Homo-oligomer: A and B are copies of this chain.
Amino acid sequence: MINELNGITPEEEQSIHKARKRIIEAIGKNMDLYGITLSTGLLYGLMFFQNKPMTLDEMGEAMEMSKTSMSTGIRTLMDLNMVNKVWEKGSRKDQYEVERDWHQTFTDFFAIKWRKAVEMNLQALKKSQVELRALADEHPNEETLQSYISLDMEKINQAIDYYLWLDRLIDTLESGEIFNLVPKKPDKGG
């Protein structure tokens, strides 16, 4: 573990370290909700408590892992806008720091991952919808076929409605409108 805690007693350092570790492990573990592996989650936790940007070498040393792993971990985190690359003058090494605005991180996650899923699913649903509609039109008098298709179509329509709603929810998150609906600071009083 890289140690930037100087000028305090070992016991004090140990106490701080312990307090941090508890948080790092909790956060790291729960980042699987973001599709992030435990190791990368712990890396994120490490960076969270860092007071200045880190290089890949520093991360590797602190995590006791290879620089390559740090590189891939950082890329994962960057793809989710959870860490940012910082341009430090005079250093050839890339420097990274965590995005401190977690509300933003949360909404970005939806804007990135969930949006993509919604789009993919909507596309598949609509394409199949068109195909089934065409199939139904080709055989208007085949009762059995018509009933099968209409069962599937109803399911597809329900799914599309849901994804359109989800798309609007993601709009609300991405635009920040959500913070008008659910304020960052709780409403006072009753």
Interface residues of A in 171-190 (CB under 8 A from B): 172, 178, 181-182, 184, 186
Smallest CB gap from A18: residue in B: B131
In angstroms, Cα B10 to Cα A145, docked, is 11
Determine whether the beta carbon of B16 is less than 8 Å from that of A132. Answer: yes
Contact of A30 among B100, B117, B148, B182 (CB under 8 A): B117
Determine whether the beta carbon of B22 is less than 8 Å from that of A144. Answer: no
In the complex, what residues of B have CB within 8 A of residue A181's CB? Answer: 172, 181-182
Smallest CB gap from A159: residue in B: B102
From known contacts A33-B113, A165-B184, infer whether A23 and B156 are also in contact, taking CB-CB under 8 Å. Answer: yes
In angstroms, Cα B26 to Cα A123, docked, is 9
Interface residues of A (CB under 8 A from B): 5-8, 12, 15-16, 18-20, 22-23, 25-27, 29-30, 32-33, 35, 48-49, 51, 100, 102-103, 106, 113-114, 117, 120-121, 123-125, 127-128, 131-132, 135, 139, 142, 144-145, 148-149, 151-152, 155-156, 158-159, 161-162, 164-166, 168-169, 172, 178, 181-182, 184, 186
Given A8-B148, A12-B142, A16-B152, list of 11 further CB < 8 A pairs?
A12-B139, A12-B145, A16-B135, A16-B149, A19-B128, A19-B132, A22-B128, A23-B124, A23-B159, A48-B155, A161-B184
